[in-house]
Structure 1
Amino acid sequence: MLQAIGLTSLPRRDRPAAVDDLTFEARPGAVTALLGPRGSGKTTTLRLMLELEPGRGITYFRGRPLHRIAHPQSEVGVLLGDVPGHPSRTLRGQLRMLCAATGVPASRADELARTVGLAGLERRRIGTLPVGADRRLGIASALLGAPHTLLLDQPGAGLSTSEGAWLHELLRSHASEGGTVLYTTDDPKDAARNAHRVVTLDRGRLVADQDAVEFARTRLRPRVAVRTPQAARLAAVVTQEARAARRPVEVVAEEGNRLSVYGSDCASVGDTAFRHGVPIHRLTAETGDTGPLRRTAGTTAPEVPGASPAPARVSVASPWAGSPPAVADRSARRLSAGRAPRGASGTRRPVRSPLRPLRYELHRLLGVPSTPLVVGGVLLVSVTLALLLGRGGRVALPAVLTGWPGISPLPPAALGAGLLGAFSFGEEYRHPALTTGRGAVPRRPGLLLAKLAVSALVALLLGVLVVVADLEALRLVHGTELIPVPENWPALGASWLGLLVGCAWAGLLGAGVFRAAAAGVAAVLAVPVALVPLLQKVLTGPTVRSAAGLPARLREFAGPQWSPGAERWLAGALRVLGQPAGVALSLTLTALFCAYVFTGLRRKARW
């Protein structure tokens, strides 16, 4: 049972609330349609139910609010708007990444692809999928965790008739197995044909909560749809003849040059147009909605009991403006059942962090073409620079092997590692997959540690690949005898790998704090461009003490004697950290990490 009680959104910019004191329920074993025109508050209602939007009220999913469900993916499957995901990611890669986030085996991705009719399209990229396949992917994403409840926002938008029939058959199948389905639509015929129950909204308020059979009997009626370039004239003559014949005919002006005629038939409307010389471009009989519609001047419409015109516009009010006493009493009882504050009142938001963060991050990294492109570009530029620097023999060997010319603030490998680190969080905000409806990216420790670990591993592999590729290219061009191995290669290697890992983490944290990959790249470049020159002046001042004797002082303080090898490694590490670049990078990482934690706590407090 899904129960929404007293849902109210916060008004914005002196406008009325999009959803105002809304209470309804969706029963298990049935498909419930949330019906209303554009702007009636359907999407905002779903976002309030999912605690993605601040407001009042509470929603119970089988007796529990969402923030008290340990694993929301196994309880609620959601599709809001477009299917989230990087357009360059393959369909299979997207589903497997979401499987890691949901905590289900990767084999379920192929299973659901077959279930929703996407077999054979697993290698297609999301950005190239047609509308029908895109919606099927969204349904598959919602079903990954085998949820009991499905919340879908306009799932049939843009689908053909056959695809829409398949979709609603799938929703009815889910409901027949005991599940709860709630979807939004602005088409009354769609709601009457495919739902078991219809909840009607108008301007964020509950208008009616009916069985689909009752809804179709009272809300829908036959009409004649007419398209003519002389719509006003045809409306006038049809109304005039109906009054003369004392027939209850209603003529409603639609968008453009369309008319809807209620209480008549195609033959009568066609004969009237022929007698008065009005050209007809379209004339057909269909089933129309008796909800709020605009009227043309001079039309006559039957009175609706209890109806009152909406303010600031001329319309035929919905027949549910005066709801039956049973509906009103039931709504009052639900509203008096109690309301719980939500959002800004202090309840915590549901945890949407991936259940398998390391597997999720690996799928995210390897599933987009930007990763191999960045790695390949870094190797190509590094090899080219290494050959150019080694040609004259005047550049130091470490600079040659890393492809680091003196005019560049950072070597290509460091820039590549920082860029990949920035993409780690930048893609989460640009193409959200973990959250529904572009909510905030979860700042759970597990996700952050997974991103730090994967970015560090990628930076280490990139550093080794660059040195090996540059070394082999130099040996191929200049020969092996001209490239001696330096004696202090361990310290040089540690400095090199530490620089790459630090740049990767700086890009990752910068993008996480400022929610953009460009901010992560800026954080990486700020270290050599701004901080290193400043620290060089500070650290070379006359009052700065040297750290050369720190290992000996630490050994005296600790008591036990250290081995000479451990002392050498400690001294080397301290020399690396004591360099201006090491100090600047350490300070940058510390500041970004503190800012990341602070912004995460601030966001939780705001919600």
Structure 2
Amino acid sequence: MIQAFGLTSNPRKDLPPVVDDVSFDARAGHVTALLGAAGTGKTTVLRLMLELQQGRGLTHFRGRPLHRIAHPSREVGVLLGDVPGHPKRTVRGHLRMLCAAAGVPVRRADEVLEAVGLVSLRDERLGTLSRGMDRRLGLACALLADPHTLVLDDPAGGLTARENRWLHGMLRAHAVHGGTVLFTTADPKEAARFADRVVTLDAGRVVADQDVADFARTRLRPRVAVRTPHAARLAAALTKEARTGRCSVEVVREGGNRLFVYGSTCADVGDTAFRHGILVHQLADEVGDMGPGAVEPPLTPQPAPPVPALEPTPPVPASEPAPPTPASSPAAQEPLKHVPEPTVPEPETIPPDTVPSTPEAASGRLPAQTGPEDADKAAEADISGDRATAEPTPPNPAHHDSTTADTRTADTALQDSTPADTTPAEQPSAPADHTAETEPLTEYPAPSPLRPLRYELRRATGVGAGFLTGAAVLVVSAFTAVVAARVGHTPQARLLAAWPRELPLPPAALGAGLLGALAFGDEFRHPALAADRGTVPRRLGLLAAKLLVSAVTGLVLAVLTVGCDAEVLYLFYGREVARVPAEWLSLGVSWVGLVIGCAWAGVLAAGVFRSTSGGFAAVLAVPVVVVPAVEKVLAGPSVRSAAGFPLRLREVLLAQWPFGGERYLAGLARVIGQPVGSALALSLATLVCAYLLTTLRSRAR
């Protein structure tokens, strides 16, 4: 259950807030629609609920605010806009990466792909998906952690009628099994056809919170849709007869041969057309919107297969009462049409010949591979626009509750025990002076990913950018080494590293810095963890995983670069140019430290500045800005020399270093004592402090 109290966005300058004091409830086992035209604040309401935007108010998901939930993705499945992800990543690879972020088994990716009908497209790139397939993938991402609540922003936007039916069938199946569904829409007929309760927004305020029957009676009105090649004649005849009989009939022409007749019936319109000898191609009852901008209603939605749970549903003890079946909305029982009195019809009885003959059909579940084509076949039996009248399966909230026993709280149990079919009058409402209305929404870092190293490996290897960057580094490095050997004046150690004095950094260091910057910058452009919070979580576990992966990548790149340069120099100029220097150990440590340090600088800078370009610019700033400053400081007359450091260290410790350990310390001291090493160490220390400072600030707020 969702309870929103006093959601209010922060005003900008002298403009009023986009959302002002919005409060409503979305009950478990029901589908709730947040209705409003473009610009009324629907998306802002969702962002305030999910704590993605600063404002006032509070939202409880089964009794707890989002920042108090241990694993948000297991409680709330979110879809805001297009599916966030790298356009070159495959559908299956994207879901497998999110499995590591949400802490669920990797097989869950294949389960949701089968449930949403994307098995045949699992190897397609995200950038090549159509609008309908993108919506399917977005629903799969929202259902990945088997959440209890679904929050979707205009999920049917841009979809065809067939895809719209399939999508809302999936949402209905989720609600039937005890989940909570909240979606936004600008079409009142879509809200009346697919929702159980409609919350109407206007200018950022709630103007109506109604059951779908009351909404249909007050907002929608019946009409007769007519198609005839003699639309003008029929319109004139209907208007004349209505004037003669003093009836309130309104005839509206809508393009070419189409008419909408309000205040009449199909029989009366057909009789008029027959008396005047007018050919009619279509004559059907419809429901029209009383407001502007109405569009034709979609065809009948059919129930879609529910997504299998992460764990088998535990049996309900006999001592506990069974969860109540959500009350079917009147719109689900009969088509919206004009009735003399606003009565609630009785549920229709299913004919004997429609009783399902298979266990899957009897339980309300369709085959897992169900797509729009199957929904069309099911819709042929009732094309008039009625909703499915089959009695839904009793909900089982435990089916969607994947939280562990140690995270369950008493208030969650109270929310789970709330009857799903409680009438609006019985639901507790927030008082006008509720203290939560003035409590600011605070952005808290999400605890994801739950498996950071596995997530980082799948993120790094899921696209070809890293492999292409590494190949480009090897080619450029080999070419630079050949040209530098041809020109001369380059020491042997720098020649193997393809680092002439004219370049600020070698190609391998620049490539490692770029890969490190992509580790965070790419996520800020395509936030893979938007299913949790919409922003990349700034957690030390994730940072450690990124630093480890970037260090291994830098080490491999450094070794491959030196090896390729040596082979190319040997092929072009012989063994004399490609010989290994005598001090290869200290030089190798210095070389590996430089490449890994640049990679770490890129990771930390991209995490601080939240962009790939910012991270790469910080890597370039080390030799261009920091190194000259360090050289100037080291060249000062007041700087003391560190000569004799190993000898003095041995005297302090009063022990003999095994295996000549003082030589390694001396080499490390020489590496750090170089201008580039000192500048890189200083830059890394500064970036680490900046990253920790921004992380602590986000937690303190």
Q: TM-score, normalised by structure 1?
A: 0.84
Of the three residues 588, 597, 601, the one matched with 1:506 is 601
Q: CA distance change for structure 1 residues 250 and 447 in 2, over 3 Å: closer, same or farther? A: farther
Q: 1:110 deviation in Å?
A: 1.6
Which shows bigger deviation, 180-189 or 123-132?
180-189
Q: CA distance change for structure 1 residues 212 and 388 in 2, over 3 Å: closer, same or farther? A: same
Q: Which secondary structure state, in structure 2, belongs to the residue aligned with residue 184 of structure 1?
A: strand
What are the superposed Cα offsets for residues 15-36 of structure 1, whole Å, 9 maximum, x if unpaired?
2222222222112122222222
Contact 2:569 2:577 in 1 (8 A): no
Report what 1:218 is aligned to: 218
Q: Is 1:385 the equivalent of 2:468?
A: no
Contact 2:54 2:440 in 1 (8 A): yes
Of the three residues 561, 568, 592, the one matched with 1:466 is 561
Q: 1:405 deviation in Å?
A: 2.2
Contact 1:33 1:197 in 2 (8 A): yes
Q: 1:464 deviation in Å?
A: 0.7
Of the three residues 508, 525, 550, the one matched with 2:620 is 525
Alignment of 1:451-490 (within 5 A): 451-480=546-575, 482-490=577-585
Contact 2:56 2:438 in 1 (8 A): yes
Q: CA distance change for structure 1 residues 159 and 352 in 2, over 3 Å: closer, same or farther? A: farther
| Residue identity opposite 1:396 in structure 2 | P
C-alpha separation in 1, matches of 2:424 and 2:171: 29
Q: 1:225 deviation in Å?
A: 7.6
Q: Is 1:397 the equivalent of 2:492?
A: yes
C-alpha separation in 2, matches of 1:99 and 1:81: 21
C-alpha separation in 2, matches of 1:528 and 1:292: 62
Q: Is 1:206 the equivalent of 2:206?
A: yes
Q: 1:599 deviation in Å?
A: 2.7
C-alpha separation in 2, matches of 1:65 and 1:293: 36
Q: 1:235 deviation in Å?
A: 12
Alignment of 1:100-119 (within 5 A): 100-119=100-119
Contact 1:6 1:339 in 2 (8 A): no
Report what 2:430 is aligned to: 334
Report what 2:63 is aligned to: 63
What are the superposed Cα offsets for residues 445-502 of structure 1, whole Å, 9 maximum, x if unpaired?
1111111111111111110111111112222333335532211101111111111111
What are the superposed Cα offsets for residues 388-434 of structure 1, whole Å, 9 maximum, x if unpaired?
22346653222221111221111111110011111111111111111
Q: 1:384 deviation in Å?
A: 1.4
Report what 1:412 is aligned to: 507
Q: Is 1:189 the equivalent of 2:284?
A: no
Q: CA distance change for structure 1 residues 403 and 366 in 2, over 3 Å: closer, same or farther? A: same
| Residue identity opposite 1:334 in structure 2 | A
Report what 1:596 is aligned to: 691
Q: 1:332 deviation in Å?
A: 8.9
C-alpha separation in 1, matches of 2:96 and 2:439: 32
| Residue identity opposite 1:385 in structure 2 | T
C-alpha separation in 2, matches of 1:352 and 1:251: 59
Q: CA distance change for structure 1 residues 28 and 540 in 2, over 3 Å: closer, same or farther? A: same
What are the superposed Cα offsets for residues 280-330 of structure 1, whole Å, 9 maximum, x if unpaired?
xx9997421124679xxxxxxxxxxxxxxxxxxxxxxxxxxxxxxx99977
Q: Which secondary structure state, in structure 1, belongs to the residue aligned with residue 155 of structure 2?
A: coil
Alignment of 1:40-79 (within 5 A): 40-79=40-79
Report what 1:550 is aligned to: 645
Of the three residues 492, 495, 516, the one matched with 2:611 is 516
Q: CA distance change for structure 1 residues 454 and 518 in 2, over 3 Å: closer, same or farther? A: same
Contact 2:142 2:531 in 1 (8 A): no
| Residue identity opposite 1:349 in structure 2 | Y
Q: Which secondary structure state, in structure 1, belongs to the residue aligned with residue 8 of structure 2?
A: strand
Q: Is 1:369 the equivalent of 2:460?
A: no
Contact 1:432 1:438 in 2 (8 A): no
What are the superposed Cα offsets for residues 498-530 of structure 1, whole Å, 9 maximum, x if unpaired?
111111111122222222111111111111112
Aligned residue pair count:
564
Q: CA distance change for structure 1 residues 334 and 249 in 2, over 3 Å: closer, same or farther? A: farther
Q: CA distance change for structure 1 residues 9 and 393 in 2, over 3 Å: closer, same or farther? A: closer
Q: CA distance change for structure 1 residues 236 and 547 in 2, over 3 Å: closer, same or farther? A: farther
Contact 1:352 1:435 in 2 (8 A): no
Kindly, what percent of the aligned residue pairs are identical?
Answer: 60
Contact 2:85 2:94 in 1 (8 A): yes
C-alpha separation in 1, matches of 2:602 and 2:130: 35
Of the three residues 411, 429, 435, the one matched with 2:530 is 435
Where structure 2 has 5 or more consecutive residues not aligned to the other structure, the ranges are 228-233, 277-281, 295-421
Report what 1:309 is aligned to: none
C-alpha separation in 2, matches of 1:137 and 1:283: 38
Q: CA distance change for structure 1 residues 3 and 289 in 2, over 3 Å: closer, same or farther? A: same
| Residue identity opposite 2:536 in structure 1 | V
What are the superposed Cα offsets for residues 157-214 of structure 1, whole Å, 9 maximum, x if unpaired?
1122221111111111111211111111111221122122222222222222233233
Cα RMSD for the two superposed structures:
3.6
Q: CA distance change for structure 1 residues 333 and 380 in 2, over 3 Å: closer, same or farther? A: closer
| Residue identity opposite 1:194 in structure 2 | F
Q: CA distance change for structure 1 residues 26 and 458 in 2, over 3 Å: closer, same or farther? A: same
Contact 1:51 1:343 in 2 (8 A): no
Q: Which secondary structure state, in structure 1, belongs to the residue aligned with residue 16 of structure 2?
A: coil
Q: 1:238 deviation in Å?
A: 10
Contact 2:51 2:443 in 1 (8 A): no
Q: Which secondary structure state, in structure 2, belongs to the residue aligned with residue 541 of structure 1?
A: coil
C-alpha separation in 2, matches of 1:138 and 1:377: 34
Q: Which secondary structure state, in structure 1, belongs to the residue aligned with residue 89 of structure 2?
A: coil
Q: CA distance change for structure 1 residues 46 and 259 in 2, over 3 Å: closer, same or farther? A: farther
Report what 1:360 is aligned to: 455
Report what 1:31 is aligned to: 31
Contact 2:445 2:698 in 1 (8 A): no
Q: CA distance change for structure 1 residues 424 and 594 in 2, over 3 Å: closer, same or farther? A: same
Q: CA distance change for structure 1 residues 489 and 222 in 2, over 3 Å: closer, same or farther? A: same
Contact 1:361 1:450 in 2 (8 A): yes
What are the superposed Cα offsets for residues 72-93 of structure 1, whole Å, 9 maximum, x if unpaired?
1111111011110111111111
Contact 2:43 2:153 in 1 (8 A): yes
| Residue identity opposite 2:194 in structure 1 | N
Report what 2:662 is aligned to: 567
C-alpha separation in 2, matches of 1:537 and 1:462: 31
Q: Which secondary structure state, in structure 2, belongs to the residue aligned with residue 5 of structure 1?
A: strand
Q: 1:132 deviation in Å?
A: 1.1
Q: Which secondary structure state, in structure 2, belongs to the residue aligned with residue 18 of structure 1?
A: coil
Contact 1:199 1:209 in 2 (8 A): yes
Q: CA distance change for structure 1 residues 343 and 239 in 2, over 3 Å: closer, same or farther? A: farther
Report what 1:300 is aligned to: none
| Residue identity opposite 1:162 in structure 2 | R
C-alpha separation in 1, matches of 2:491 and 2:134: 54
Q: 1:13 deviation in Å?
A: 2.8
Q: CA distance change for structure 1 residues 567 and 85 in 2, over 3 Å: closer, same or farther? A: same
Contact 1:343 1:349 in 2 (8 A): no
Q: 1:143 deviation in Å?
A: 0.8
| Residue identity opposite 2:664 in structure 1 | W
Contact 1:252 1:293 in 2 (8 A): no
Q: CA distance change for structure 1 residues 482 and 400 in 2, over 3 Å: closer, same or farther? A: closer
Q: Which secondary structure state, in structure 2, belongs to the residue aligned with residue 335 of structure 1?
A: coil
C-alpha separation in 2, matches of 1:332 and 1:568: 74
Q: 1:569 deviation in Å?
A: 0.5
Q: TM-score, normalised by structure 2?
A: 0.73
